[in-house]
Amino acid sequence: MINNDIDALEIIIYRLNQNDINRIEHEILSNIKELMIDYSFVDNQTYPRPSHPNILKRKDAYFTLIAILLSLRTTLENEIKAVNNFIEKYKSIDDVINCNKNELIQTINCAGMPIKKAKAILDVSNYILKEYNGDINNINVGSIDEIRDKLMQLPGIGEKSADCMLELAFNLPSIVIDINVFRVISRFYYDEDMNFNKKTDVLKIKKFLEDNIIKDYKIYQIVHTIMLLHGKNICKSKPSCDICKINSNCKYFKNNNMYNQLKLF
């Protein structure tokens, strides 16, 4: 468990000092270390989960799953409100299965699409009750690929949601590739245009990271969080390359002649 930002930084520094680290992993983790000056790991853990740094958000993996469903197609602010409302009202999967559906809809209303999301929550809860005796942790048996396959059989759960469950709820080394992580890594390491809507491109980025970074769930959580924040704040659709702390080895930065332009000033 990562309890605070110092813990997170020490994990990265320890790995950087190991003899078996390869060049790409060293470069990625060095960039992460640099970015951690500006970005807090702990303050940006939104999903409740068993290993959450904040004891108030340290919840069973079932609540991680619900938070993932609530986060779909909504803002971060509304996601947090809806998740907080949910975990305050419902303390277990049994509470949800036996709840009044209209009350559930009202509880999660701020997340948007409350009727559709309430149905998704009830469907997945009843599936877990039927197939796993009401305990989502019974899914966490076998290899990562086997667990991912079982997660993706849950109603409403796709590949990205399954990876979120693996990385955050089950503490397994399967890195989550969201649009921000995808943008940062594809710009940094790939010359060709990459498209987040192409499954093959997303899998290429995922494979690149998992092939080069040691299979350690804590490091994956840190890399995912810090890259996500950098993509949201600096490496946006229209990037702020001139103020990016890690632009010196970025292919996008160099290929767009920004490096030579900045040297003129």
Distance in angstroms (rounded) separating the CA atoms of residues 108 and 84: 9
Give the pLDDT band of residue 255 (cuts 50, 70, 90): confident
| Domain boundaries, position 92 | 55-139
The answer to whether position 204 is within a domain reads yes
Q: What is the pLDDT of residue 258?
A: 56
The answer to whether position 148 is within a domain reads no
263 has a pLDDT exceeding 50: no
The answer to whether position 239 is within a domain reads yes
The answer to whether position 184 is within a domain reads yes
pLDDT digit string, tens, across residues 56-93 = 999 999 999 999 999 998 888 899 999 999 999 999 99
This prediction's pTM: 0.91
* CATH number reported for the structural domain that contains residue 89 in this entry: 1.10.340.30
pLDDT digit string, tens, across residues 187-203 = 999 877 889 999 999 99
Amino acid letter at 37? I
259 has a pLDDT exceeding 70: no
246 has a pLDDT exceeding 70: yes
Q: Which of 162, 174, 178 is nearest to 209 (CA)?
A: 174
b/e sequence 194-228, b meaning 16+ C-beta within 10 Å: bebeeeebbebbbebbeebbeeebbbbbbbbbbbb
Structural domain tally of the chain? 2
264 has a pLDDT exceeding 90: no
Give the residues across from 49 on adjacent strands.
58
E runs forming strands in 78-214: none
**Do both 82 and 22 map to the same domain?**
no
Q: What is the pLDDT of residue 265?
A: 31
Region of 64 please: left (phi>0), alpha (psi -120 to 50) or beta: alpha
The answer to whether position 144 is within a domain reads no
